[in-house]
Amino acid sequence: MKQSAPARALNGGPIAEEIRREVAEETARLWQEHQVKPCLAAVLVGDDPASAVYVRNKVRAFAELGLRSEHQALDSSTTTEQLVSLIRTLNARDDVDGILVQLPLPQGIDEATIIEAVDPLKDVDGFHPVNVGLLAMGRPRLVPCTPAGIIELLDRSGIAIEGAKACVIGRSQIVGRPVSQLLLQRDATVTICHSRTVDLAEVTRQADILVAAMGKPGFIKGEHIKPGATVVDVGINRITDVAQARSLFGSETDERIKAIERRGYTLVGDVHPAEADAVAGRRTPVPGGVGPLTVAMLLRNTVGSARRRRGL
């Protein structure tokens, strides 16, 4: 069964700008009333090009709002012990309010050890076990940025969460599990699906809100979607094949093929855009959907950390 009209785009850009304005106002108040300027320390280990772009974008976003940021770049030969030592130094600095260690880390560095080394009060990614535990207990303090951004997107777009059937595909600690907790705390009925789910489409077709976060390009198709559902696509996947682009993008095909010819790739989420648009009520595009909100929530987390650490 298909929709009579194509899905409307659920763009994150305008909402991210709204949040950034709110953060800018809060930052100005912090300075005027307390002479506090929040500061993020972003740590990049190794030379992964995508990670370098992500860190650069985050640092630029801080500068645009008048917040302070530091970029700590370490080479790929850095050991777990050396990285822990840097994090302890940042933990001890009173002028640093947030610490972000860009993931994934190079092979040989123990990711769990690094995450646990960050002061939970400065853990603006929301990955430390203390913050994960507080979220699970319904007492969220610092929440992972992408899940928090998804809730803001739904709220500010007028999409009801209370009483809705929500399905999250993916169980990562970065997106799947925390967004499930947030939806549950907002009184949605939540199902989590994963690679071992039997008859996935039968489960996902029940969802009023479908969140796809499994890292498989174009995997979620029309058969997986309830007519009129809201589809939140968290995936960011590069495709380089023109034939694959033709099969995915429908009316956007020419534009996407030009992107491949120009820069060697185009981006697609975990949702098949052409098929989803024939069934869903609303869908987040890739790029331009969830992505802008992730950075906006990092800004908000850092300002919140600055206030909380000082008891303001």
Q: Domain extents for the chain? A: 32-119, 144-293
Give residue 213's pLDDT.
97
Give residue 1's pLDDT.
54
Which of the residues 72, 97, 102, 208 is marked catalytic?
102
Q: Is 58 a catalytic residue?
A: yes
Identical fold between 32-119 and 144-293 = yes
Q: Is 155 a catalytic residue?
A: no
Minimal CA–CA distance to 290: which of 98, 141, 144?
A: 144
- CATH H-level superfamily of 32-119: Leucine Dehydrogenase, chain A, domain 1 (3.40.50.10860)
Query: Distance of CA 246 to CAs 2, 236, 277, 287, Å?
Result: 21, 18, 15, 17
User: pLDDT tens, 148-177?
Assistant: 999 999 999 999 999 999 999 999 999 999
Q: What is the pLDDT confidence band of residue 2, given thresholds at 50, 70 and 90? A: low
Q: pLDDT above 70 covers what percent of the chain?
A: 99
Tokens of 302: 């850092």
The domain defined by 144-293 folds into Rossmann fold (3.40.50)
Give residue 115's pLDDT.
98
Q: Rg of the chain's alpha carbons, rounded to an integer?
A: 20
Which of the residues 97, 119, 123, 125 is marked catalytic?
125
Q: Is 206 a catalytic residue?
A: no
Residue 3 pLDDT exceeds 70: no
pTM: 0.95
